[in-house]
């Protein structure tokens, strides 16, 4: 059972990391968010990124919330797998 749970957590966190990375990369191609894939990635990642944006101070025109979110997800991922 622990092996299944570890695999599920691993897949979930990897999917979230790739969704955040995908959102960052596609924002260069579709900054207005008109493409359907952009909308899907926004729906998946916004619950993670929005709270971080409200806490992080703005740094010019750069949004640092994806970097912080990816670091926090990696830390949480490692902690959860060690706890299992």
pLDDT tens-digit series, residues 16-71: 999 999 999 999 999 898 999 999 999 999 999 999 999 998 888 889 999 999 99
2 token code pair: 């622990």
Counting the structural domains of the chain, the total is: 1
Domain that holds residue 32: 2-83
pLDDT value of position 84? 85
Contacts with 27 (C-beta within 8 Å, 6 or more apart), sequence order: 38
Largest Cα–Cα separation, the chain = 47
Q: Is 60 left (phi over 0), alpha (psi -120 to 50) or beta?
A: left
């Amino acid at each position: 059972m622990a092996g299944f749970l570890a695999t599920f957590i691993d897949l979930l966190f990897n999917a979230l990391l790739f969704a955040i990375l995908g959102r960052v990369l596609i924002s260069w191609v579709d900054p207005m968010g008109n493409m359907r894939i952009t909308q899907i990635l926004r729906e998946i990642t916004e619950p993670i990124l929005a709270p971080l944006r409200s806490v992080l101070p703005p740094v010019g025109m750069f949004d640092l919330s994806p970097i912080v979110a990816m670091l926090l997800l990696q830390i949480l991922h490692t902690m959860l797998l060690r706890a299992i």
